[in-house]
Amino acid sequence: MKYKEQSQKYIRLFANCFLTRGVVRSLIIDGFRGGFDFIPNDLCDILSSGEHLRIADLYETYGVENQEVIDEYLDFLFSNEYIFLADDNDKDLFPALEPQWKYPATINNAILDIGPEGAYNLEKALKELDELQCVALQIRVYQKRSMDFLRQLAQLTHELTIEQIEVFLPYNELLDPIELQHLAVQFQKIKGIVLHSAPKSYVIDNDYIKKIVDIVFLEYELTDASHCGIVNLEYFSTNIDHYMESQFYNTCLNRKISLDQFGNIKNCPSQQKSYGHIDRSSFRQALEHPDFKKLWTVKKEQIAVCQVCEFRHICTDCRVYLEEPDNMYSKPAKCSYDPYTASWEN
């Protein structure tokens, strides 16, 4: 009984740490520092069993034969700073965070796909995103472009509300890595440049540059929007904002607006349904359509299989590429995780 001397103290989960119970195992998420650990469902149940749980209660409930396991659980939780101990008189001074997610603007992120040159007026689209107070922009280019294109994009977005830009574009010899670094240093809204279809995959490994921008060369070829929708551990997000949003909204499509590579306005570029062309209509008009926000509130608890998955509140979602295309509540087709066996297929 390693914690005998503290046995009258109360176990409190730090308010920034969240539990998600899965069908065979659970997650404990550190929403402040980022990251998570797997924990057994037994431990998740213990930690969820109420706010007034003393160490002594644990020893008593689980008996002498389980004392070693309880000590191991506590060692793990203390060493990772998931829990702390409170006295009788201060145990109620650390309330859990109330689940809520609020955002002051209608749109906070956008994807602009860019295909054939001149397919739509990019400047108009960016100006409208600015009026909507969009802060995060992903641009996916499918045809080779020069440095001038990137320079123009950086200049067009320089004065806008957009705070961070990630650009995917095909590799070509004219995109000189040194010039890309200079551009990113000059226009620090560009946080990521991914050159796909490159001869080999590598990352620009310069400590100074990495603080400003990730410049990545990828052998993988991106030919159109159908490459989107992959669910993978690398894309999971463990911050408080994402965790809270996932309690109420869809973590991919909520507050998103997009253009496909031909300029058609959509919630996401991969969707079939378009809400007009940006040159002849506007983002605001599209947002007024009763169907535009239909998927914004589809949360993981409503989605088959995901609803029992321990990753459901840190996972990105996809509502376009589905296991059952006609069922908007079916599992993302490009997720190979099976929460019933806790294993990834590939």
Task: Build a one-symbol-per-residue string for 21-60: x at contacts with ligand SF4 by CB under 6 A, - elsewhere.
Answer: ----------------------------------------
Tokens of 74: 């506590």
Q: On the CB side of 290, how many CA atoms lie within 13 Å of its CA?
A: 0
Q: Is the distance from CB of 317 to CB of 311 less than 8 angstroms?
A: no
Q: Which of 135, 137, 167, 306 binds ligand SF4 (CB under 6 A)?
A: 306
CA 57 to each of CA 104, 126, 147: distance values in angstroms, whole numbers, following the listed order: 44, 59, 65
Regarding 231 and contact with ligand SF4 (CB under 6 A), the answer is yes
Regarding 20 and contact with ligand SF4 (CB under 6 A), the answer is no
Nearest CB to ligand SF4, comparing residues 110 and 126: 110
Task: Build a one-symbol-per-residue string for 172-211: x at contacts with ligand SF4 by CB under 6 A, - elsewhere.
Answer: ----------------------------------------
Footprint (CB under 6 A) of ligand SF4, residues 240-269? 252-253, 268
Regarding 86 and contact with ligand SF4 (CB under 6 A), the answer is no
Task: Build a one-symbol-per-residue string for 266-285: x at contacts with ligand SF4 by CB under 6 A, - elsewhere.
Answer: --x-x---------------
DSSP-assigned letter for residue 308: G
Minimum CB separation of residue 270 from ligand SF4 in Å reads 4
**Residue matched to tokens 């609020």:** 102
The alpha-helical segments, DSSP class H, found in the chain are 41-47, 55-62, 67-79, 122-131, 147-157, 177-186, 207-210, 240-248, 283-288
**Residue matched to tokens 């507050």:** 255
- Interhelix angle 177-186/147-157, rounded to 10 degrees, is 10
The Cα 135–Cα 163 span in angstroms is 5
Number of Cβ atoms within 10 Å of the Cβ of 272:
8
Q: Which of 31, 115, 263, 332 binds ligand SF4 (CB under 6 A)?
A: 332
Q: How many helices (H) and strands (E) does the chain have?
A: 9, 15
Number of Cβ atoms within 10 Å of the Cβ of 184:
23
Strands 26-30 and 36-39: antiparallel
Nearest CB to ligand SF4, comparing residues 89 and 346: 346
Q: Is the distance from CB of 228 to CB of 269 less than 8 angstroms?
A: yes
Minimum CB separation of residue 59 from ligand SF4 in Å reads 35
Regarding 299 and contact with ligand SF4 (CB under 6 A), the answer is no
**Alpha-carbon radius of gyration of the chain:** 24
Stretch that binds ligand SF4, among 117-125, 148-156, 198-206, 331-339 (CB under 6 A): 331-339
The Cα 63–Cα 260 span in angstroms is 61
Minimum CB separation of residue 277 from ligand SF4 in Å reads 19
Stretch that binds ligand SF4, among 121-129, 173-181, 283-291, 332-340 (CB under 6 A): 332-340
Longest dimension (CA), the chain: 74
Regarding 319 and contact with ligand SF4 (CB under 6 A), the answer is yes
The Cα 222–Cα 241 span in angstroms is 30
Nearest CB to ligand SF4, comparing residues 18 and 311: 311
Q: How many residues line the site for ligand SF4 (CB under 6 A)?
A: 23
Minimum CB separation of residue 65 from ligand SF4 in Å reads 34
Stretch that binds ligand SF4, among 26-34, 85-93, 177-185, 302-310 (CB under 6 A): 302-310
Q: Which of 311, 328, 340, 343 binds ligand SF4 (CB under 6 A)?
A: 311
Binding site for ligand SF4 (CB under 6 A): 228-229, 231, 252-253, 268, 270, 300, 305-306, 309, 311-312, 315, 318-321, 331-332, 335, 337, 339
